[in-house]
Every structure is written in C-alpha cells, then in structure tokens.
Structure 1
Amino acid sequence: MIANTPIRSERIAADIEALAAITEPGRPWTRRAFTPRFLEGRAWLEQAMQAVGAVTQIDAAGNLIGTIPGSRPELGTIMLGSHSDTVPDGGRFDGIAGVIAALEVARALRDQGRVLEHTLEVVDFLAEEVSIFGVSCIGSRGMSDTRPLDWLTRESDGTTLEKAIAAVGGNPHRSAWRDDIKAFLELHIEQGPVLQNEETDIGVVTAIAGITRIEIIVEGRADHAGTTPMGSRKDALSTAAWIALGVEELARALAGGAAHFAATVGEFEMSPNAANVVPARVRMLIDARAELRQDMERFIDELDQGVVAIADKTGVTVSVPRLVSDNSPTPCDPGLLDILDAACETAGASHRRMASGAGHDTAWMARITRAAMIFVPCRDGRSHAPDEHAATEDIALGAAVLLQAVLALDAKLQEDS
C-alpha cells in the first residue's frame, strides 16, 4: 500500500495477472477485439466493476462502462479508463494498466466510504488497437461521433464491423455521443524509455502526436543484374534507399527541437525482388508523428523537395509523395495538466511533461470533453511485444495520482460550472 492513499498495489497486481491470463492458447499475451478471448476478458471486467458497486452497460459504440452515481449526478461525469484489447502477442500492460488503475481508483473511494458529487465512470473502450477490420479506436471514435460511416461495411473473417459491434452488445446505428462527460483521464504505460532513463515516476502528457502516413512510388527499370553496366541502370532500390536516408536525416533534425517528432519508413515493397534483376519498382510508406503541426508541415514540404532532388540525381522516376492519412496533433487540456501536476506532488511522485508519440483513445475523447493522460514507466521502453513489462509499484503510484486528480476535479469542476 502506498503511503497516505488507499490504493492497494496487491489488488492491481492480482487484477492484471487475472486479465492477462485470458489469452489465446500458446500466444501470450493475445486478446484481440471481437474474439472469444476478448469477450471473456470483458466478462471478467464486468464482474470486477460490479463488485466495486458500479452499474455496467455496453454503450452503442461497444464500450463497456461501469457507472458509480455521484451524490449530485446532475453535475455530470468524470470518466477514467483505457482499453483491454491487445495487438497479437502484444503485452500484458498496454491498455490493461489504465483500465485496472481506473478500477482501483473506484475501489479506493469505496474503501474510504467516499462518494463523489460527480458520477464516476470506468470505461473499457472497444478496439483501441488495430482490429481485424484494419481500423483502431473504434469505441472512442464511436463515443465522440467521429467513426466514419463506411467503416461499418469493412469485412473480415466473413463478417462486417457492423455485425461485430452488435455481437459485443453495441448498436452500430445508434449514436453513442455523450455531452455529460466533464473530464476524461487515461493512465497508460509510456511505451518508450524516457521515464525509465530519467528515473521519473510520471509523465504528464501534453499532447497526442498527429500521425501522417505518406506513400512514395519509385519507378525504375528491370534489367539483367550481371550484364547491365552500373552507369546505365535505373535502380529503383538505390533511389528508394537515398529517400529513406533522407527521411531519417530530416526527422532527426526536427526531433532536435523541444517538441516530439519521429518518422519511419515502415513499409517497403520491391519488385521483381529477384537476386539477378535490377529492381524495377519500390513502394514506400512513411509513418511520421509530430507534437506540433508546423513541424509536420515542414517535414512534408522538405520531403517533397528532397524527393525531386534525388530523382534528378539518379534519373529514376519518383512519384509526388501522397498523403494516405493525415491527422493533426491533439493537445491535452491545460487545466487538467495543472491538476495532474498538482496530483503528482500530493502523491509524492516525480513528474515531467511530455508528448505521446503513440495514438490513444484520449485523442478522440478530447473532441467532446476536457481530456488528458499520464504515463507510467515500462521496462526498457518495450511495448507491443511479449516481454512488455511495467512494475506494479509504478502503476499503483499512477493510480494514486489519478485518485488525487479525481478528488481535485470533483471540486474544481463545480467551481468552473
């Protein structure tokens, strides 16, 4: 038990162990949305929510919500939570830690006999990770009314997303939009090494980075690899390699500032992909992430110029970089950041502000309410991997920060209303 708080680390450890154990046989830790194992995990969470006194429901977007009414429910709702689905072989803590920490906050309030004036809700969002339908954040997009209508017709394994949402208890043709949520807070493992390297307890997240994906097609010419002189070739791979190195150089320059920036050539397809043929075509997909929109705009502009320069140098045709998707950064609520900073001080947690380079449900909840999140350290920054790990003590300290923030919000929101 952490000093001066009713947060119980042993309960957190037991809950994470129990939920993580619900995994595909021989594949720790795999519990993908819409699968039988996911529904089994949902059933476990529903019982845990009910045990703390919450009334549970599945909303129209397929989110599992546990509701503990406040003494003055007309004031609105404070919502806590994350997601319980995983990527394949993806880890025991990504998402799970945030749901269990929210549940522990509800337990701690119960143990103190304390009833908030606002209603408290614990949420497990549906399909935060990329699902079998190829899309993510399905539940939070549904709650924020930002889920594209055409997503419902996406197909996988003989069914559609429309039918899959209905199968988990949602209603894909009814709005799940909410106007009663006054604040949303999410705890998550960092998924990076900064907190561990700096020996800092808590990251107070300033923004969710915008994610832009850019496709480039390089068109060279297939020739015999043994007989075509080096000076006569139009090698698509060599040109693509220059572009990939340019992406890294540009990203490193932008990452040298105060704001978060990263770019990766994450997909790379070459044809004909034969040892004795000069490569004729390469398709590249760049994943770029920026805390500040102006950094992304600079990246796109300089990438366009760089590609033209490389094509002129090599004599190989390169397409104009095409934006496949382009999402702007989502800043967290400044007032909530101040409350979280103060909560860290009250809980005795060292803390720093930092951006998130990964996407989270918080980014979509920020469309409809004040929203913010905190990070807790994870070992060596590893995530989306079987050896992902976060110390129970770190999660418990994060839960203690959440508890202090909820108590402060319960009073502060009344002042602001």
Structure 2
Amino acid sequence: MLAELAAFSDGDGNLTRLYLSPAHRAAADRVAAWMRDAGLDVGLDALGTVRGRLKPTAPGRAGNRRLLIGSHIDTVVNAGRYDGMLGVVAGILAVEEIRARGIELPFGVDVLAFGDEEGVRFPTTLVSSSAVAGCLVPSDLDARDADGIALRDALVAFGGDPDAASSAAYARDEALAYIEVHIEQGPVLEAEGLPLGVVTSIAGQSRFSVTVAGEAGHAGTVPMALRRDALAAGAAMMLAIEEVARAGGAHQMVATVGRLAARPGAVNVIPAEVVFTLDIRADADAPRLAAIAELQTRLQAIANDRGVSVTMEKFYESPTTPCAPRLQEAFAEAARDLGLAERRLASGAGHDGHALHHLTDVGMLFVRCRGGISHNPAEFAAIDDMGLAVEALIKAVERLAADAASSGDRT
C-alpha cells in the first residue's frame, strides 16, 4: 500500500506530493478506495481531508462519539514513503482487522487522511487538520503558492469548498480522542533495539530570524582587534546556541541554525551583516522558554563584547502538545501485551496532533525507522515493525472501548 501511494508524485523521478496537487488528489482517491474496501463510509471534507467512517457496533452511551485515527498524505520535496502515509494505512488496516475479528466498539471510528501537514506548497501548515479541529485561521485560505495560486482556488480545483470550511469541524463533545501511528523520524528506538515507542508529547517549537550588524571593512587593512565582524560574532553566537541546547538535553532540547546569509558577501570585505535562522525545540514549554531567555542574554553579551548589534525576531511559535496519559497508557499496555519493552519519548517533529489538540486528547505511537532518516528517499521502516504497530493500534482501540464500556463513557 505504501508503495502504491509512493507512485503518486508531482516530481520527476522522486516522491513529491504537495497539498492540493494532482498527485495529492490521486492519492486521496486511492486512500478512499481502500477505506471503502475496509467497509468504511467515505467522504471528502471541505479542506480535502479523506474521511472513512465506521459506525459503533456495540450499544452504549459512547455511541454518539468518534475515535479519530489518522495522519497525512502530503509530502516534502523528494520525500520518503513512510512519513504520514504509514499512519493512514495503519488506521485503515486496524479498522479492517477490527471488523474481521468481530471486535465490538461502543463508539464510532473515523480514519482521516490529512493534507498540508508538511506546509511545503503554501506558507501555511496543518490547514486540513486545523479545519477538522475547528481552529482554522480563515486568512490561510488566501495564502498563495510560488506560482501565485491561492489556496482557496486550489481547493476548489481539488474538489473542496473553502466557503464551507467550518463544516469540516467536529463538535468538541463528538471527538473521543485522536491517535496516530508515525515513524519516529529519529534514531532512539533503533539505537535501543525497540520496534515501538509511546510518545509523551509533541515538542514545542520557536523560530527566530537573528540579525547581527557590524561594519564592513577592507579585509587587508583593518586590524583584527579593531574589527566589528558580523560573521565572526555570529559564529560565536551559534556556538552559544549549541551549548545552551546541549545543556537542555534532559528535555530533549535541540537547536538548529539552518539558514545563514552574510553581506556584502565579497571575499575581500569584512561582513557587515549576518542573518541566520534559529529553530529551538523541547519536550515542554518551560525549558524551551527558559533557554530562549538565556540565549537572548548570551547573544547580547557576545554582541557587546564584539562591538556589533543583535536582534532576535520571532516568526513562528508552536506550544508543546502533551499526549494524554490515558492514551499513553493504552499504547503502553498494547506494547506490553505484545511482549515489548515499554519506551516513552517525546516527538521533536511537528504533527497533525498539534492542531487536533485544540479539539480533543491526542496520543501517538512511534515506529522504529532505519538510521532515524526521514524527509529523504532513504526513509525506511521494516514490515515486522509496522505490523506490530497495527496490532498495537488495534489493542489500544480495544482498551479505549473497554474503558468506555466500564466507565459509562467517562473516557
């Protein structure tokens, strides 16, 4: 199934499937066909999310509620075939098995295939899952891609309806929870020899544009002690960023300078200005915000020492999304039932759960991936590990069903 999905691409010789593109539409149609084959009622919502619906099969007060299972089918440029797609396929297979085994559920199950999780085509992200969660920012519909095409126009061409965006939202009392299977996108599970891991939180992220302003000068005539070299100061700042992030390792803190520009950019001119990006993440908000405050102090001290100025301009902020303890325990119990060691870890990458958290509790299960490689054609997860993930997903759903039945739907 993953190989079939990988064939739907906008790229030439690689997997590139952007939100609302022809390849996205073809993949959505294939996913819809699989959902129908699995016995689900299928529809496409206003923002292009494919929804497969399984009705409750056991009586109970939870019958008007729905467990949401899903992930995304859009990709980055030159992508692998597991990121996002595994969660959709696992959801379909799990529901198919639940029906085949005659497992009765006192609530409905909706399998969701989102788009725009990667945020590549438009200057937006999580548009379709935000619509499902009822937290869509209306102005996002007016965003334009590199070719000047508005998201709302692309949505109409796809078969969606931007004017009916509010219809995509679930009522808060309708959603029981949202759970997702996803490759780890990191090396921890592989390093520890474990096929599955229970996610504790989806890391919060802060992104900044940092500008260091010095003074240009002749590379051969200005003595080193008298220079106001913006690039040298920026390099010292980047080392400070690395030190602060390493010190926060207990919170899975990471910091990345991913883009750098030096001006005027001549081989024989001292750089007058440097602009670089900073992406900092952690498993909780407090340590991330504390690290940012420390960095502001340290970067200013470096600037003062080197006779330059520095400004940090935030352009993106996403708070930490905690995974609900009851959903963590459902996945942990499933792992134990499968004879697996229990491992809990945070996700450093963003997911649709960031949006769904505005609607309901969120839970995630990680699957080991080779080398921790993701967003790359070399992305790989083993069949056996993926099979364990589907079985763990089924067991987690059974646990939630038992909880709902025994608690009179206080789940």
**What's the TM-score, normalizing by structure 1?**
0.93
Alignment partners' CA distance in 1, 2:308 and 2:120:
37
1:209-232 Cα shifts (integer Å, max 9, x gaps) = 100012211111111212222222
Alignment partners' CA distance in 1, 2:150 and 2:358:
26
Instruction: Map residues 16-415 of structure 1 onto 2, 5 A cutoff.
Output: 16-24=2-10, 26-71=12-57, 72=59, 74-156=63-145, 157-174=147-164, 175=166, 176-179=168-171, 180-255=174-249, 257=250, 259-319=251-311, 321-414=312-405, 415=407
1:372-404 Cα shifts (integer Å, max 9, x gaps) = 001000000000011111111111101100000
Residue 221 of structure 2 aligns with an amino acid whose one-letter code is: T
* CA separation of 1:24 and 1:166: change in aligned 2, threshold 3 A: closer
* CA separation of 1:154 and 1:330: change in aligned 2, threshold 3 A: same
* CA separation of 1:172 and 1:391: change in aligned 2, threshold 3 A: same
Alignment partners' CA distance in 2, 1:228 and 1:96:
56
8 Å Cα contact 2:144-2:150 kept in structure 1: yes
Question: Following TM superposition, by how much is the alpha carbon of 1:27 offset from its aligned partner in structure 2, in angstroms?
Answer: 3.2
1:197-246 Cα shifts (integer Å, max 9, x gaps) = 00112110010110001221111111121222222221110000010010
Question: Following TM superposition, by how much is the alpha carbon of 1:111 offset from its aligned partner in structure 2, in angstroms?
Answer: 2.0
1:270-296 Cα shifts (integer Å, max 9, x gaps) = 111111111111111100001121111
Residue 301 of structure 1 aligns with an amino acid whose one-letter code is: A
Mark the runs of 5 or more structure 1 residues left unpaired by the alignment: 1-14
SS at match of 2:247: helix
8 Å Cα contact 1:201-1:350 kept in structure 2: no
Residue 359 of structure 1 aligns with an amino acid whose one-letter code is: G
8 Å Cα contact 2:10-2:18 kept in structure 1: no
1:142-191 Cα shifts (integer Å, max 9, x gaps) = 11122222211111223211222333333223312212110111000000
SS at match of 2:163: coil
8 Å Cα contact 2:124-2:143 kept in structure 1: no
Question: Following TM superposition, by how much is the alpha carbon of 1:115 offset from its aligned partner in structure 2, in angstroms?
Answer: 4.3
Question: Following TM superposition, by how much is the alpha carbon of 1:117 offset from its aligned partner in structure 2, in angstroms?
Answer: 2.5
Alignment partners' CA distance in 2, 1:79 and 1:377:
23
Question: Following TM superposition, by how much is the alpha carbon of 1:362 offset from its aligned partner in structure 2, in angstroms?
Answer: 1.3
SS at match of 2:67: strand
Residue 131 of structure 1 aligns with an amino acid whose one-letter code is: V
8 Å Cα contact 1:202-1:374 kept in structure 2: yes
8 Å Cα contact 2:10-2:21 kept in structure 1: no
Residue 312 of structure 1 aligns with an amino acid whose one-letter code is: N
Aligned twin of 1:4: none
Residue 162 of structure 1 aligns with an amino acid whose one-letter code is: R
Alignment partners' CA distance in 2, 1:123 and 1:349:
28
**What's the TM-score, normalizing by structure 2?**
0.94
Alignment partners' CA distance in 2, 1:24 and 1:155:
18
**In percent, how many aligned pairs have the same letter?**
36
Question: Following TM superposition, by how much is the alpha carbon of 1:25 offset from its aligned partner in structure 2, in angstroms?
Answer: 5.0
CA-atom RMSD in angstroms = 1.5
8 Å Cα contact 2:155-2:162 kept in structure 1: yes
Aligned length: 400
Mark the runs of 5 or more structure 2 residues left unpaired by the alignment: none
- 4+ residue segments displaced more than 6 Å: none
1:97-141 Cα shifts (integer Å, max 9, x gaps) = 111111110111232234423111111012111131122211111
